[in-house]
A and B are shown apart, each in its own frame.
Chain A
């Protein structure tokens, strides 16, 4: 019994001390994002530092696999979510995200945006953009495909791409293939399935496998080689430029309707368009900034698509049907 008494005392003291700590600590802004954004090598830590310097708060990243995983997680959590802001969904998910009715207006001034094609959404705020592309190692692959059709029809290639149900690049490829092939998409998927090493859940998984030499090409971005050039001083990685054009991806952030810290969330949304945030994008997230920020040298001289494909918002509602089509085509 004596022991029990001392246990009890310790437990009470511990609980007490955590309560005191909680009372002293700053308010916490919780942001759901994808893991390559929040990781040590992504822009996350610097964004945290910059925002905390001006908000008197603590910024907490919750890293999920991908943009799609963020939205699905928010749907699962419903009204119980701890998230104040979701950062990292993309254009292709807008219809779905809007239907979920989880988000509220951003109230940011969109005048400073220099996004090609413009942007007028009151809920979803763009914070960077890029173009999907297949990336290859020039030392290993001498003759990269010149078009999506060549990639699909050639038989000497091994590729990795992401699952369109769980990741934004995978979804991008889904729309890209639909754009290029139209009704012939299922046949193209079937052909692609023969040269697919694996379909991964998210981008980091796929890119990690590609860097380990598992495949010839991986679905990523036109700006990925810039990372190898600038951060690693490696020149051999390139994006295969396709004659059909490249699909643009705009990444967006949105504030949760049920945010626990609505004011901080608003402040964070405004912060996304400031120079302090935007200048962390090119060499942090390896995407293009959405405002007029000078790009680092050697960033966009190569590999700017000659032709840009844009997602037709009218077609976004068909996403579910396309995924079903993909599932059936690749599982045969």
Chain B
């Protein structure tokens, strides 16, 4: 009886996702004057595409070149605070970009720490925070830690006896790198490079804040400008299509380049590390990494605490925005969670009970469709589709929630997939034979086993929507503020005291949620945080 409706939840959610993603896309494609010729005739747009590709390539190269020696140093050396540092590196995957920008401005800006330090030493630094150099700096700040964590993991998977043999053979530093470390890291590099490239290619906030004008604009920003600055629907639609095409190519390369599985053997426990190699390069790599990564974070804490203690900020505005931000994040997280459960219920019924795993996978795949479509493309399409029919700024709250939920869906899906499958495979027959069904099945069987993974999925979904700027930039208004949007405006107006309070609150919220994610994951299953974006 109760399984008559097994197809309901999944097909409902899939239909909703398909209509919310493909509808706006069709709207974009159907824009009049959308011809592919225009882009190649417009030298400014060509410049935008060229710049998007150039900065993404440079960012990827720089991040990887710094991450490789840093990963080696972190792997070979033991020092106090190493674990904490690796945890902090994990933060960079979920840290809202806008907070990091605040930290970067506080360290590298005109009144920043570095400039003060330089003037104290009698030097004057050139301006580098705006334009390409600023964009690269910010991208390296985000992606170097991500790459480092992955590479450290790959080094940890080199079997112990290889190291012993290397020591017995008295290998030189170079041959150990060449024969042992490089092969281990090389497996990850293509996938890692394409992931970083994609993240930088679709970078929105960093380019918008540090671009410093039309010289340094990416497609993602040009779409936003075409809509909000020029009110040029056709141009926005056309740019969004190009973004989609280029993004799809990158994603396709990513899938093609992605290594099969980096997990070879697990090397648990302590083993002797033979590390007679040079201390100097390691120290240099560590210090460079720390100098790039830590000061902006410290600046957020330092100025944030000062601002909170001095109360030099608008208490009511900050409180109200925090509340709004949290309610958007909670709603988006819950929505993403229920979408995932809906998809998985039907998908796993198909694959486990009806033995057609390919259909199950396909259904779950619709949830990851969003990875192909940048949020800005989606919101542009929704904007064009709805603007004649609905008061977009009054419905902004719901639209932002919907877009954030969709953006978080691939992550919540991944967090729930295995636990739900486990449950079905292990306990389905037992439960049936005991006659457990409906509410009692939920209460006695499913809830105890799924509450942790579900909580983890919810927290993950919340983190991702807490940091969103792409959707709120499109639909935000004076009635609809989130912490990242408020911070963006405060930074824009150079209200640094207020911005520091906002940045600290946002950072603390993200850290709390991230801690929750890791805590919920720790007892339930052994999964490493890098799998967040894997």
Contacts and interface: CB of A to CB of B under 8 A. Distances in A.
Interface string B378-420: 0000000001101111100000000000000000000000000
B44 A205 contact: no
Interface in A181-228: 193, 196-202, 204-205, 208-209, 211-214
A301 interface: no
A331 B215 contact: yes
Contacts of B130: 197-198
Given A197-B127, A204-B493, A324-B44, A76 B229 contact: no
B214 interface: yes
B110 A199 contact: no
Contacts of A166: 229
Contacts of A257: none
B213 A199 contact: yes
B110 A212 contact: yes
Interface string A35-74: 1000000000000000000000000001100001100100
A196 B47 CA distance: 19
A101 B493 CA distance: 32
B317 to A, nearest CB: 12
Nearest to B217: A331
A211 B229 CA distance: 26
Contact of A212 (B225, B392, B492, B494): B494
Given A62-B478, A198-B212, A330-B215, A75 B492 contact: no
Contacts of B110: 209, 212-214
Interface in B212-260: 212-215, 217, 225, 227-231
A255 B281 CA distance: 68
A196 B213 contact: yes
A196 B213 CA distance: 9
Nearest to A214: B110
A165 B230 contact: yes
B270 interface: no
Contacts of B127: 158, 197, 214
Contacts of A332: 47
Main secondary structure of the interface of B (DSSP, over half): loop
A328 interface: yes
B216 to A, nearest CB: 9
Given A198-B130, A330-B214, A209 B494 contact: yes
B225 A165 contact: yes
Nearest to B208: A201
Contacts of A214: 109-110, 127
A150 interface: no
Interface size on A, as a range, is 35 or more
B493 A35 contact: yes
A80 B394 contact: yes
A165 B384 CA distance: 20
B266 interface: no
B323 to A, nearest CB: 15
Nearest to B394: A80
A80 B213 contact: no
A147 B429 CA distance: 87
A39 B34 CA distance: 41
Interface in B4-47: 43-44, 47
A63 B478 CA distance: 8
A122 interface: no
Interface string A70-100: 0010011110100000000000000000000
Contacts of B47: 328, 331-332
A166 B225 CA distance: 9
A12 B177 CA distance: 69
Contacts of A77: 391-393
Contacts of A68: 229
B111 interface: yes
With most chain A CB atoms within 10 A of its CB, the pick from B43, B48, B494 is: B494
A328 B228 contact: no
Contacts of B109: 214
Nearest to B388: A78
A163 interface: yes
A88 B127 CA distance: 33
Contacts of B392: 76-77, 80
B493 A193 contact: no
B212 A199 contact: yes
B383 to A, nearest CB: 8
B493 A328 contact: no
Contacts of B225: 165
Contacts of B213: 163, 193, 196, 198-199, 330
A327 interface: yes
Nearest to B496: A212
A197 B44 CA distance: 20
Nearest to B492: A205
Nearest to A326: B214
With most chain B CB atoms within 10 A of its CB, the pick from A327, A331, A332 is: A331
Given A158-B127, A163-B213, A324-B44, A80 B393 contact: yes
Contacts of B214: 199, 326-327, 330-331
A80 B229 CA distance: 19
Interface in B183-221: 212-215, 217
Nearest to B232: A320
Given A165-B225, A330-B213, A76 B231 contact: yes
A72 B231 contact: yes
Contacts of A69: 228
Nearest to B229: A165
A80 B391 contact: yes
Contacts of B388: 78
A200 B209 CA distance: 9
B350 to A, nearest CB: 35
A209 B494 CA distance: 7
A197 B392 CA distance: 35
B110 to A, nearest CB: 4
A78 B215 contact: no
A204 B491 CA distance: 11
Contacts of A209: 110, 494
A205 B229 contact: no
Nearest to B212: A198
A117 B51 CA distance: 45
5 contacts: A75-B231, A205-B493, A209-B494, A328-B47, A331-B214
Given A198-B130, A212-B111, 4 more contacts: A80-B394, A197-B127, A197-B130, A208-B494
Interface of A: 35, 62-63, 68-69, 72, 75-78, 80, 158, 163, 165-166, 193, 196-202, 204-205, 208-209, 211-214, 324, 326-328, 330-332
Interface of B: 43-44, 47-48, 109-111, 127, 130-131, 212-215, 217, 225, 227-231, 387-388, 390-394, 478, 492-494
